[in-house]
Amino acid sequence: MLSFLFRRILIALPTILLISIFVFALQKILPGDPLLVLAGEERDPETLAFLREKYRLNDPIWMQYLAWVGNALQGDLGISLRTNQPVTELMAQKLPVTIQLAVMSMIFALVIGIPAGILSAVKKGTATDYVANIVALSGLSIPNFWLGIMLILLVSVKWQLLPASGYVPLSEDFWLSIKTMLMPSFVLGTALAATLMRHTRSSMLTVLSADYVRTARAKGLVERVVILKHALRNALTPIVTLTALLFGELVAGAVLTEQIFTIPGFGKLVVDAVFNRDYAVVQGIVLVTAVGFIFMNLFADAMYYVLNPRLRGQ
Amino acid sequence: MSHLKTAMITALLSATALTASPLMAKDLRIALQSDADVLDPDQSRTFVGRIVYASLCDKLVDITPDLEIIPQLATSWTTSDDGTSITMDLREGVVFHDGTPFNAEAVAANIERSQTMDESRRKSELKSITSTEVTGEYQIKLNLAGADATLLAQLADRAGMMVSPTAAAAAGADFGLNPVCSGPFSFTERVAQDKIVLTKFGDYWNADAINFDSVTFLPIPDTTVRLANLQSGDIDMLERLAATDLGQAEADANIVVDSAVSLGYQGITFNIANGEKGDNPWGNDKRLRQALSYAIDREAINQVVFEGAFAAGNQSFPPTSPWYNADFPVPARDVEKAKALLAEAGYADGIDLEVQVPNTTVPLQLMQVVQSMASDVGINMTITSKEFATLLADQSAGDYTASQIGWSGRVDPDGNNHQFVTTDGGINDSKFSDPKVDELMNAARTAPTVAERKALYDEAMVIMLDELPRLFLYHQKWIWAYNDSMKGFTPYPDGMIRLEGVTWEE
């Protein structure tokens, strides 16, 4: 098991390197000059020249990249061209926000998606199945920004039940923090729930037609036990993997949802940084997100290994 | 039990006492359209940054809503007869947030910082100051290269903001991470894209006029969400309400809407002679540009795109400005004249025009309306939408024919014109050049009286309206919406939020 994980980490390292090169190059290919935006409306040529020098934008790209890698290895991801704040500090501010949003969304997704999937598999072909499918499809099809604005108008403006937008740290006011995050995580969660529901359904359908389920029924077990104890456990293995992967996606950015609900997380940070050509910030976020994503992948592999005893022998 | 009772009664009493007092301790929450950039007046460049400074950093002078210059940290000033120096008397008893006293030395240090710090974006604004002389603890003399009528207006904005010289010397270019000024509120905390928190400064020279314990600025980019937050009571005020949301805001009895015509403009800039692309029919023949201008119904644009909330315009100042040339009011649409001009220029059968546009909703809608108006006279307009940084780079490099772009506006008329239309103007992306315009614009910088300057701008405007390197379309209005408990807010054409004298009464 350990050597398996170690191998996977070794494979991940070049991936991270490649991603950083790719993103660096991609940013430089983008048209537009960051300094024209940075130098202010009046664009004084002297200031422009100084800033180009300061941020090493006159150097060849490969030199800029090597300088960045050198600093990054020492834990220095540079400073934001826009606010002068260190990138590491910016991300330290955003990471808890993004993680809280991701965890809460995932809770919504699991609580809605898995029971709906089971129900729809067990009642396959009945009205319940169709309703569950329609709901799941709507969850996938309704754009997040639309659902978000509708919720704000209804829940916050009309009923005044929850704060309309923003973010309160957990440490500052626990319940207010949860309340503020409820709507955005619901919006994100419903979209994921649809994916989870579809996968749970198909996975359950496969398992339900397996021989051992027929055996269990033949033994005279109650249907509830057959489904929850025998079928579900086996059906869940792929779902666990999927959940870990979806979680990685969540951390990577709930860009639109964060924009609508004005949540100061990774997604909002990276979008604003791209528009402002804030190279260091984009680069830093992509790196950390890639590491996070790879880590979640690893976690998924490990979980698979733990859940599926057949793999352990290999 | 009795303990609990007493506690509850005390709490209740203090709660009522608090609500009864009109000057209750309150944190004012203001939503901004975007997040400010670095909070260093010498380095920053965003509009929202200036809104934060209005509470954080005092300036040497301020403006009235009618754009007159009035004292702030400088209490009075005299200009020498030849205009080459300004002597300012400074307010006594003012301290910066870190306790450093404000005096003539501090002003000298600030001007030096703005002029010499490598990262400074204020160099061009203070170019005319050649040296400073401290002539008394509270008196400073600014020596100028020549008469400069625009300088006081510059000192009424970021170039005139005073930062603590001690803090600035210690922090250098990192000053913006923890700004120290002398304004009514001091810097407390900033979480990027989340909030900027300022706390009332007890030793502020005009502390009696400040009625809030703290003010929090929250960047909320989506205008619908900004308004929803105001309606739900999560914020107290918002800036730049979308014209399309006006109806909803005005219908809410708990919300007050205020507005002021901005100092800036929106329009189309043509490439006259900027690189190879300047050599095109639109750059070479002013009749084409005139034809497009006649093809446009500016009032209709205001009605269709902005629900009539903004101001139609045809000059670099809005019609409400004292600098507007009243001899040339916003022209009515004249399709026949436009067609005649096209025919005269040899394009009776129509002509193509590519316009680059920032890829956001309003500019796109605007240009679609203009496009359909232009097609009526035979101008076949294509809209190329570009992300803003790209648009700006292409425009600066001359890689465009026409560009839909605006200007946030300056208090002094020079700021809306000189750098765009003079031959060596720093942001003359048209590369428009006309010796007469150069002469008039330069003269307007040094002319001693307002009347003389107005005459010079009037004369220049005649040429600019004939040549049309910039074709003006409309002037934005700053629209604020706020909770009706907030009293005493004054709209200013610079779009700033000044909290002096503003109170909260529930």
DSSP B43-111: T---HHHHHHHHHH--BSEEE-TT--EEESSEEEEEE-TTSSEEEEEE-SS-B-TTSPBPSHHHHHHHH
Q: Which two tokens stand for residue A93?
A: 């501010």
pLDDT of residue B181: 97
Chain A residues close to B218, C-beta within 8 Å:
166, 262
- Smallest Cα–Cα separation from B262: which of B321, B302, B350, B212? B321
Answer yes or no: is A87 within a domain. Answer: no
B189 contacts chain A (CB < 8 A)? no
Report strand pairing: B27-32 vs B214-219: parallel
Q: Band the pLDDT of B12: cuts 50, 70, 90.
A: very low
Say whether both A26 and A145 belong to one domain: no
CATH pick for B27-33+183-262+478-504 out of 3.30.390.10, 3.30.2130.10, 3.40.50.300, 3.40.190.10: 3.40.190.10
- The answer to whether A54 contacts chain B (CB < 8 Å) is yes
Closest-CA residue to B44 (of A38, A223, A235)? A38
Residue A90: list chain B partners with CB under 8 A.
Answer: 192
Q: How far is B378 from chain A (nearest CA, A)?
A: 32
- The three-state secondary structure class of A303 is helix
Cβ neighbours of A43 in B, within 8 Å: 396, 426-427
**B226, B220 Cβ separation under 8 angstroms:** yes
Q: Using 50, 70 and 90 to split pLDDT, how confident is the model at B17? A: very low
Identify all chain B residues contacting A32, using CB atoms and an 8 Å cutoff: 387-393
CATH code of the domain covering residue A221: 1.10.3720.10
Domain that residue A275 falls in: 94-312
Domain B58-167 -> CATH class:
alpha beta
Q: Which of A251-260, B1-10, B213-222 has the lowest mean pLDDT?
A: B1-10
Q: Taking a contact as any Cβ pair under 8 Å apart, which residues of chain A between 66 and 85 contact chain B?
A: 80, 82-85
DSSP-assigned beta bridge partners for residue B142:
B86, B132
CA–CA gap between residue B490 and residue B209 (Å, rounded): 14
Whether A34 and B233 lie within 8 Å, measured CB to CB = no
**Partners of residue B262 in chain A, C-beta under 8 Å:** none
The alpha-carbon radius of gyration of chain A (Å, integer) is 24
CA torsion angle A197 A203 A205 A209 (round to 10): -160
Same domain, A165 and A37: no
Residue A86 lies in a domain: no
Residue A88 lies inside a defined structural domain of this protein? no
**Structure confidence at residue A155 (pLDDT):** 92
Q: Rounded to a whole number, what is the distance in Å from the CA of A36 to chain B's nearest CA? A: 7
Give per-residue pLDDT as tens, B33-90.
999 999 999 998 889 999 999 999 999 999 999 999 999 999 999 999 999 999 999 9
How many residue pairs bridge chain A and chain B with CB atoms within 8 Å of each other? Answer: 144
In chain A, the residue whose alpha carbon lies closest to the alpha carbon of B173 is: A84
Instruction: Please give the Cα distance from B370 to A185 (Å, whole number).
Output: 41
On whether any CB of chain A is under 8 Å from the CB of B405, the answer is: no
Q: Report CB contact under 8 Å: A164, B218.
A: no
Say whether both A243 and A144 belong to one domain.
yes
* b/e burial code for range B169-181 (CB count within 10 A of at least 16 → b): eebebebbbbbbb
Residue carrying structure tokens 């109806």:
B247
The answer to whether residue B172 neighbours chain A at the CB level (below 8 Å) is no
Q: What is the pLDDT of residue A252?
A: 59
- CB < 8 Å to B43, chain A: 84
As to burial, measured by CB atoms within 10 angstroms (0-12 exposed, 13-18 middle, 19+ buried), residue B487 is middle
Mean pLDDT of all residues in chain B? 92
Does A275 contact B at CB distance below 8 Å?
yes
Task: Pick A42's closest partner by Cβ from B36, B392, B419.
Answer: B419
Percent of chain B exceeding pLDDT 90 equals: 87
Residue B150: which of B497, B443, B406, B498 has the closest Cα?
B443
Tokens matching residue B459: 């004369």
Hey, what CATH class is B265-475 in? Answer: alpha beta
Task: From first to last of the 314 residues of chain A, give the pLDDT tens digit.
Answer: 677 778 888 888 888 888 888 888 888 887 777 777 777 677 777 788 888 888 888 888 888 889 888 988 888 888 888 888 899 998 888 888 988 999 999 999 999 999 999 999 999 889 999 998 888 888 888 888 899 999 999 999 889 899 988 898 998 899 999 999 999 999 999 888 988 999 999 999 999 888 888 888 888 888 888 888 888 888 888 888 888 888 877 765 578 888 889 898 888 888 888 888 888 898 888 888 888 888 888 888 887 777 777 766 55
Asked if B38 lies within 8 A of A165 by C-beta distance, the reply is no
Rounded to whole angstroms, the Cα distance separating B202 from B200 reads: 6
For residue B417, the model assigns a pLDDT of 96
Stronger pLDDT, B480 or B10, i.e. the higher one: B480
Is A218 in the same domain as A306? Answer: yes
Residues of B in contact with A273 (CB under 8 A): none
Rounded to whole angstroms, the Cα distance separating A234 from A310 reads 12
Q: Is the pLDDT of residue B151 over 50?
A: yes
* Beta strand residue intervals within B111-262, DSSP E: 129-136, 139-144, 185-191, 195-200, 214-219, 237-238, 255-261
Place of tokens 């108008």: A153
Q: CA-CA distances (angstroms) from residue B66 to A192, B62, B150, B262, B491?
A: 55, 11, 16, 12, 11
B428 to chain A: closest CA residue: A42
- Whether complex ipTM tops 0.90: no
Where residue B7 falls among pLDDT bands split at 50, 70, 90?
A: very low
Q: B368: distance to nearest CA of chain A, Å?
A: 24
Assigned domain for A261 exists:
yes
Out of A50, A165, A272, the one facing B193 most closely (by C-beta) is A272
Q: pLDDT class for B25, splitting at 50, 70, 90?
A: low
Q: Which residue of A has its CA nearest to B172?
A: A84
| Residue B8 pLDDT level (bands cut at 50, 70, 90) | very low
Residues of B in contact with A31 (CB under 8 A): 386, 389-390, 393-394
**3-state SS string over A141-169?**
HCCHHHHHHHHHHHHHHHCCCCCCCCCCC
Q: Choose one of A11, A40, A73: the last residue of a domain.
A: A73
Shortest alpha-carbon distance between residue A50 and chain B (Å): 7
Residues 6+ apart with CB under 8 A from B56: B39, B179, B181, B183, B185, B186, B187, B198
Q: What's residue A205's pLDDT?
A: 92
pLDDT digits (tens, 9 = 90+) for A74-119: 888 888 888 888 999 988 888 889 889 999 999 999 999 999 999 9
Does A83 map to a domain?
no
Which part of chain B is CATH 3.10.105.10?
265-475
Q: Report whether pLDDT(B5) > 80.
A: no
What is the model's pLDDT at position A276?
80
B426 touches chain A (CB under 8 A): yes
Whether A276 sits inside 8 A of B225 (CB atoms) is no
pTM of the shown model: 0.87
pLDDT of residue A8: 80
First to last CA, chain A: 10
The answer to whether residue A36 neighbours chain B at the CB level (below 8 Å) is yes
Residues B196, B211: Cα–Cα separation, whole Å: 19
Inform me whether the C-beta atom of residue B394 falls under 8 Å from chain A C-beta atoms: yes
- Tell me which chain A residue has its CA closest to the CA of residue B389: A32
Q: Chain B contacts of A275, Cβ < 8 Å? A: 387-389
Are residues A158 and A272 both part of a single domain?
Answer: yes
The pLDDT assigned to A272 comes to: 83
Q: How confident is the model at residue B22 (pLDDT cuts 50, 70, 90)?
A: very low
Chain A CB contacts of B228 under 8 Å are: 149, 152-153, 156-157, 164-165
- Residues B111 and B207: their CA atoms lie apart, in Å, by 26
CA angle B223, B225, B231 (to 5 degrees): 105
**Are residue A64 and residue A104 in the same domain, yes or no?**
no
Cα separation, B103 vs B485, whole angstroms: 38
- Give the amino acid at B505: E
Q: C-alpha angle with apex A282: A280 to A285, nearest 5 degrees?
A: 105
Q: Do A166 and B234 touch (CB under 8 A)?
A: yes
A300 shares a domain with A170: yes
Residues A131 and A243 in one domain: yes
**Residue A217 covered by a domain:** yes
Query: Within this chain, do residues A179 and A130 fall inside the same structural domain, yes or no?
Result: yes
For B218-247, what is each residue's pLDDT tens digit? 999 888 899 999 999 999 999 999 998 999
User: DSSP 3-state assignment of B215?
Assistant: strand
Residues 329-388 of B with CB under 8 A from A: 386-388
For the residues B327-333, what does the mean pLDDT come to? 96
Residues A157 and A37 grouped into a single domain: no
CB-CB under 8 Å, A50 with B119: yes
Q: Is A158 left (phi over 0), alpha (psi -120 to 50) or beta?
A: alpha
Three-state secondary structure string covering A79-141: ECCCCCCEHHHHHHHHHHHHHHHHHHHHHHHHHHHHHHHHHHHHCCCCHHHHHHHHHHHHHHH
With b for 16 or more beta-carbon neighbours within 10 A and e for fewer, the B94-115 pattern comes to bebbeebbbbbebbbbbbebbb
Q: Is B24 on the interface with A (CB under 8 A)?
A: no
Give the mutation candidate from A84, A257, A278, A282 for the B interface (greatest B CB count, under 10 A). Answer: A84
Q: What's the confidence (pLDDT) of residue A23? A: 84
Render A42-79 in DSSP notation, one character per residue: T--HHHHHHHHHHTTTTS-HHHHHHHHHHHHHTT---B
Q: Domains in chain A: how many in total? A: 2
Position B368 pLDDT exceeds 70: yes
> Cα B402 to chain center, whole Å?
24
| Mean pLDDT across B158-187 | 96
Best of B232, B234, B262 to mutate (most A CBs within 10 Å, chain A)? B232
- Domain annotation covers residue A89: no
Best B29, B30, B37, B399 member to test A by mutation, with max A CBs in 10 Å, is B37
Please name the residues in contact with B412: beta carbons below 8 A apart, sequence gap of 6 or more.
B149, B150, B153, B154
Interface of A with B in 182-221 (CB under 8 A): none
The total number of residues written for chain A in this structure: 314
Nearest CA in chain B to A31: B390
- Test the A interface: residue of B197, B225, B245 with most A CBs within 10 Å: B225
B253 interfaces chain A, CB cutoff of 8 Å: no
Phi, psi of B131, rounded to the nearest 5 degrees: -160, 165
With an 8 Å Cβ cutoff, are B37 and A156 in contact?
no
B194 with A156: Cβ contact below 8 A = no
